[in-house]
Amino acid sequence: MSDEVLVEVADGVAVITINRPQARNAVNGAVARGIAGALDELDARADVSAYVLTGAGGYFSAGMDLKGFLTGDFPHVEGRGFGGITEAPPRKPLVAAVEGYALAGGFELVLSCDVVVASAEAKFGLPEPKRGLVAGAGGVIRLPRRIPYHVAMEMALTGDHYPASRLYELGLVNRITEPGQALEGALELARKIAANAPLALAATKKVIVESQDWTLDEMFKKQGAIINPVFGSKDAMEGAAAFAEKRAPVWKGE
């Protein structure tokens, strides 16, 4: 990866770190390409079952690098969107570890994640209207699907910052940690996820994400197309055998 995006893999979890602390991890073209490249590689790796996305230096991300934007450095990757992720999140579960600010595009990166762990001091917001912009990288689309409509409207229209405690109350943040412990909290959760069967994880995520738009008539047909191969997999047999033999399963992703 590049200097702007660091990747570390251990215990089935890949930690992807935005590494521009001098700019509060503002997302530029290099960051977007780095995240996209990391996901392209890691989604194909059998030794990775879950991800953690975080930022270096006590910040998650202050959003798009506006200085870069003025010079034509737009942090968009074809096919993946802003930050290399917002239009095409990975098929494997993704946990956000948020310290400091997750604002504008930074908050949109969080909204691209499946689970959110935040420091008690973390702040979230979509301040784009204060800069003459719109949260077009999923912010105004995803936010009202995650929290109540009127609260989403308030956040998006005022552009104000909101504490992690408020988003925890609304169900957008899963867990709150002590300051400086968001990454460890996210890793704990990601390791728990990664201990499960990879094919089952990917299918479960796919159904939850895609079923929001399914009609009643097509729900179980579409779900079946996704999950039936899992029931016929080697891992399904391994899971049953491990249970019967009272041992830990050894997943192959097959």
Q: Which two tokens stand for residue 126?
A: 């979509």
Active-site residue among 128, 218, 245, 254? 128
Report pLDDT for 71.
87
- Is 41 annotated in the active site? no
Q: What are phi and psi of 93, to 5 degrees?
A: -60, 140
Residue 196 pLDDT: 96
Residues of the chain with pLDDT under 70: 1-2
Active-site annotation holds for 238: no
Q: What pLDDT is stored for residue 246 in this prediction?
A: 95
Q: Of 4, 99, 108, 121, which one is the catalytic site residue?
A: 108
pLDDT of residue 1: 55
